[in-house]
A and B are shown apart, each in its own frame.
Chain A
Amino acid sequence: SQKIEQNSEALNIQEGKTATLTCNYTNYSPAYLQWYRQDPGRGPVFLLLIRENEKEKRKERLKVTFDTTLKQSLFHITASQPADSATYLCAPSFSGGYNKLIFGAGTRLAVHP
């Protein structure tokens, strides 16, 4: 069956450092991969989408990579701030048909001043 793995342990980093979160998937080949942010008590909010033919995508301090050979995506936040503290979810998806997303359980990021 399709499986998404994100580091279940919280990632603690110092303000100003780069946070790197990992998403591994098995048993399928998604055409896209999306990243979402979720704050406590709120619904997920879309951050970035990367296509299978893109190696890297950037948006302000965010960078996502997509390695279809390793079946892995890395999510980077540079110059991290305490306001970046949240849970980050990865969600591979497919072209065609309905927009089926399979969500990982998420990695909680804590940025300390």
Chain B
Amino acid sequence: NAGVTQTPKFRVLKTGQSMTLLCAQDMNHEYMYWYRQDPGMGLRLIHYSVGEGTTAKGEVPDGYNVSRLKKQNFLLGLESAAPSQTSVYFCASSSPGGAYEQYFGPGTRLTVT
């Protein structure tokens, strides 16, 4: 099992460019999440999905869009990148319910200049 994988690992964008981050999991998890992590701050939830075809906003959704067309994949899009979106992005997946741990991918380091 590969667990949770993310592509790409690194990316540099210019302000105003767009990109899509891909997350894939092979654990048949219903729930998937996108977080961003900035220095000195905890992981902050951007968007999440509780099943194929469903998405919802998290704590910091502005400037991002997501799609979950297949159960195993969760895509995060930046429509018009801004320097404030420079961060490390983590995808995670889990079974339903608060008693279940989340499995994280290795992260994508994004720099917007």
Contact = CB atoms under 8 A, between A and B. Distances in A.
A98 B48 contact: yes
A94 B95 CA distance: 14
Interface string A80-113: 0000000001000111101111111110000000
B8 interface: no
Given A49-B99, A89-B43, A101-B102, A42 B50 contact: no
Interface residues of B, number: 28
Interface in B19-45: 31, 35, 40-45
Interface in A42-94: 42-46, 49, 51, 89, 93-94
B98 A42 contact: no
Contacts of A93: 98-99
B96 A99 contact: yes
A45 B43 contact: no
Given A4-B42, A44-B90, A93-B98, 12 more contacts: A43-B90, A43-B105, A44-B43, A46-B102, A49-B99, A95-B97, A95-B98, A96-B97, A96-B98, A99-B94, A101-B45, A105-B40
Interface of B: 4, 31, 35, 40-45, 48, 50, 56, 90, 92, 94-107
